[in-house]
Structure 1
């Protein structure tokens, strides 16, 4: 069960960004990292709070993060960090909570900023 985290590529992420109204892209880096730049449309939920965030009631989640809490079967829940490790941890946590299709953008913000020049 060690490496069963689904991953998404930069190209795949770019293809869904802005096209899917249901996409929830979660940046699990620290506030300091996020303040230096982020992927447009992402919401910030630090890796250590992913479990409690996704265990919230939908109304509470929406009030705190400004987005609808996705259903457990969503195919559009993507986590990312700087280079992939924390994103994989967050994705594993989401899987434990029942988000079986959650995936990790393994390239992270580092790859995104290199490819997008941001």
Structure 2
């Protein structure tokens, strides 16, 4: 019953979520150097190689480290992104394996976001 197909989200859908949702957790899995060059507003930086450990943390430890509430396993609006989509897909897969069945990947990544936002 495991679905190995990565769920994806478009720029338009992400933009709508950013404007309307209080529950969205947008996770930027790029390197610190990439994030320093620009980021999607409201995103939380959790590098790809630490995603599994971060999602395995207790709620209090997660909030202390990242400054946001740890998403519940059934979080409807958990979105990962990277620069162009590949690492975001990897992170989404890791989250799925940990039980975050609604996790999605913003496949356009920061590259598409910055182009569309004129950054």
TM-score, reference length from structure 1: 0.97
Tell me how far apart the structure 2 counterparts of residues 19 and 56 of structure 1 sit (CA, whole Å): 28
- Structure 1 CA distance for aligned equivalents of residues 12 and 35 of structure 2: 22
Distance 2:88 2:17 in 1: 18
Q: Which moved more, 1:52-61 or 1:13-22?
A: 13-22
Which residues of structure 2 form unaligned runs of 5+?
none
Rounded Cα–Cα distance in structure 2 between residues aligned with 1:31 and 1:40: 15
Q: Is the partner of 1:79 in helix, strand or coil?
A: strand
Superposed CA RMSD: 1.2
Task: Give the aligned partner of residue 49 of structure 1.
Answer: 50
Q: Which residue of 2 aligns with 1:63?
A: 64
TM-score where L is the length of structure 2: 0.96
Q: 1: distance between equivalents of 2:110 and 2:88?
A: 10
Q: Which secondary structure state, in structure 1, belongs to the residue aligned with residue 19 of structure 2?
A: coil
SS of corresponding position for 1:18: helix
3-state SS, counterpart of residue 92 of structure 2: helix
Offset at residue 59 of structure 1 (A): 0.4
* Cα contact 2:4–2:93 (8 A) shared by 1: no
1:87 is aligned to 88
Cα distance in 2 for partners of 1:19, 1:66 equals 20
| Alignment gaps of 5+ in structure 1 | none
Which residues of 2 match residues 1-118 of structure 1 at below 5 A? 4-118=5-119
